[in-house]
Amino acid sequence: MRTYGAKRTPLQVDGDGHFAGAVVAWRDISKRKLAEAKLIEAESRYREVVDAAREVVFQLDVTGAWQFLSPSWKEVTGYEVAEGVGRNYLEFVHLEDREATRAAAQSVLNQQRPSIRELTAFERRREDAMVEISASLSRDRGDTSREGLGRLTT
């Protein structure tokens, strides 16, 4: 089955304010629609994997604020996802481990290390837990730091 898109352009209005007609151009957009459907399906499969993972998959902005936390965040930390998103990751690191964790993350931002894998105490709602933080920096095409990507594992 083919899918077509139409573009309509009205012709000039006559002196009484009436349209004199329109030009309509049709084009086959089947390939684009198929590609869109495949992308939606791939995103759905990816979301299922992330949602089912026992580790927390996360995304940080360059200031260290959580931008994305997978649903396992609640199981690992005891906090709702909405309570974490927008807050700085260091707010959840145990006070005694904050400086070492911050320094490790900064070394990635400064391009001294390609990634980090640190064991740190993480403050949970009910009790603290040791978690392993694995993270790396994502860059845009201009090689500008864009975000941190990683996972937390208990």
Tens digits of per-residue pLDDT, 110-128? 777 777 777 777 777 667 7
Instruction: Tell me what pLDDT residue 68 has.
Output: 92
Q: How far apart are CA 108 and CA 92, in angstroms?
A: 19
Instruction: Tell me what pLDDT residue 60 has.
Output: 87
Of residues 19 and 63, the one with the higher pLDDT is 63
Please check the confidence at residue 129 and state whether its pLDDT lies above 80.
no
| Contacting residues for 87 by C-beta, under 8 A, at least 6 apart | 65, 66
Tens digits of per-residue pLDDT, 57-112? 888 888 889 999 999 988 888 889 999 999 999 998 888 888 988 888 888 877 77
| Contacting residues for 71 by C-beta, under 8 A, at least 6 apart | 51, 81
Domains of the chain: 4-47 (no CATH), 53-153 (3.30.450.20)
Identify the CA nearest to 68 among candidates 87, 49, 45: 87
